[in-house]
A and B are shown apart, each in its own frame.
Chain A
Amino acid sequence: GENVEQHPSTLSVQEGDSAVIKCTYSDSASNYFPWYKQELGKRPQLIIDIRSNVGEKKDQRIAVTLNKTAKHFSLHITETQPEDSAVYFCAASRGDDKIIFGKGTRLHILP
């Protein structure tokens, strides 16, 4: 089955700097890669996703890149703000199937 590895487990960046979180997946049939943000005590919420027919997707300060050959994808957050502090999860799926999550990255934005 699918296995998703995520790094780093914890990331601290100065406010205004960029943050990058990286994930790898094992199942070459996976074609849908969402990223979820979970604030303390809240449910996970989708922030951006990418499908295997594109290499990059951007939404304001957030971007995701996908390298299908290498089976890895990354989340980039630019101009970080205090409200970006949260746990971020990458995930992979075959599309119309279950979604498997990475272990998460706790992002701290330092003042």
Chain B
Amino acid sequence: SAVISQKPSRDICQRGTSLTIQCQVDSQVTMMFWYRQQPGQSLTLIATANQGSEATYESGFVIDKFPISRPNLTFSTLTVSNMSPEDSSIYLCSASAGDTGELFFGEGSRLTVL
């Protein structure tokens, strides 16, 4: 299994600012992902965080808005840039060890943009 720590757990941000969410996994994992979950909604995949290279973004998400880093196997960051109220959501870091395919989630970062 993998234990995933995310910070901040929540934040209130002003429109136009940017916020970086950090994700730390306690063991080496093969895959790391970032999901967004709006209140009462499903888990929407933003991107796959690739170690040492550019993230792979899903349709509707772009690097300028959601830059992602993954400098090593156990750490990743997601930045939400130039925030607007529509970006208010829970952002979840997740990781898979690859051999079982099981996806583990962090506790999420709840962002409120005013």
How far is it, in angstroms, between the C-alpha of A100 and the C-alpha of B92 when the chains are bound?
14
Interface residue? B12 (CB, 8 A): no
Q: Which of B55-114 contact A (CB under 8 A)?
A: 58-59, 92, 96, 98, 101-103, 105-108
Scan A40-60; emit 1 where CB is below 8 A from any B CB, else 0: 001111100100000000000
How far is it, in angstroms, between the C-alpha of A99 and the C-alpha of B104 when the chains are bound?
11
Instruction: Tell me how far the C-beta of A37 lies from the nearest C-beta in chain B, rounded to whole angstroms.
Output: 12
Q: Inside 8 A of A44's CB, which chain B residues have their CB? A: 43, 92, 105
Interface residues of chain B: helix, strand, loop or mixed (majority): loop
- Given contacts A1-B59, A98-B33, A98-B48, A43 and B105 within 8 Å (CB-CB): yes
How far is it, in angstroms, between the C-alpha of A96 and the C-alpha of B58 when the chains are bound?
17
Interface residue? B45 (CB, 8 A): yes
Q: Is the CB of B102 within 8 A of A100?
A: no
Interface residue? B41 (CB, 8 A): yes
Given B42, B101, B107, which contacts A95 in the complex, CB threshold below 8 Å?
A: B101
Interface residue? A74 (CB, 8 A): no
How far is it, in angstroms, between the C-alpha of A102 and the C-alpha of B31 when the chains are bound?
20
User: Counting chain B CB atoms within 10 Å of each CB, which of A42, A99, A102, A103 scores highest?
Assistant: A99
Q: Inside 8 A of A46's CB, which chain B residues have their CB? A: 102-103
Q: Is the CB of A49 within 8 A of B101?
A: yes
- Given contacts A1-B59, A49-B101, A103 and B41 within 8 Å (CB-CB): yes
Q: Inside 8 A of B59's CB, which chain A residues have their CB? A: 1
- Give 11 CB contacts A-B under 8 Å: A34-B102, A43-B108, A44-B43, A93-B101, A95-B101, A96-B30, A99-B103, A101-B42, A101-B44, A103-B41, A104-B42
- Residues of chain A whose beta carbon lies under 8 Å from any beta carbon of chain B: 1, 32, 34, 36, 42-46, 49, 89, 93, 95-104
